[in-house]
A and B are shown apart, each in its own frame.
Chain A
Amino acid sequence: MTPLATAAEPRAPGEAPTLVQITGEADLLRVRSTLRAQAQVAGLGLTAATKLVTAGSELARNIVRYATHGQGVVLVETAEEGSRRGVRARFSDDGPGIVDLGAAMTDGYSSGGSMGLGLPGSRRLMDEFEIDSVPGRGTTIVICQWNR
Chain B
Amino acid sequence: MLEQVPLQRLGHTIIVTLQGDLDDATVERIERAVTDEVAKVRARGVLIDVSGLAVVDSFVARVIARLVGMVALLGAVSTIVGIQPAVAITLVELGVPMDHVHTALNAEQGMARLRRMWDDTTGYRR
Contacts and interface: CB of A to CB of B under 8 A. Distances in A.
Contact of A2 (B23, B84, B87, B97): B23
Interface string A11-43: 000000000000001101100110010000000
Given A2-B23, A50-B90, A121-B94, A115 B58 contact: yes
Contact of B20 (A1, A58, A61): A1
B20 A54 contact: no
For chain A, what secondary structure do more than half of its interface residues adopt (helix, strand, loop), or is it mixed? helix
A25 B21 contact: no
Contacts of B89: 47, 50-51
A49 B89 CA distance: 12
Interface residues of A, number: 31
Contacts of A26: 23
A36 B84 CA distance: 16
Interface of B: 1, 4, 20-26, 54-59, 62, 84-87, 89-90, 93-97
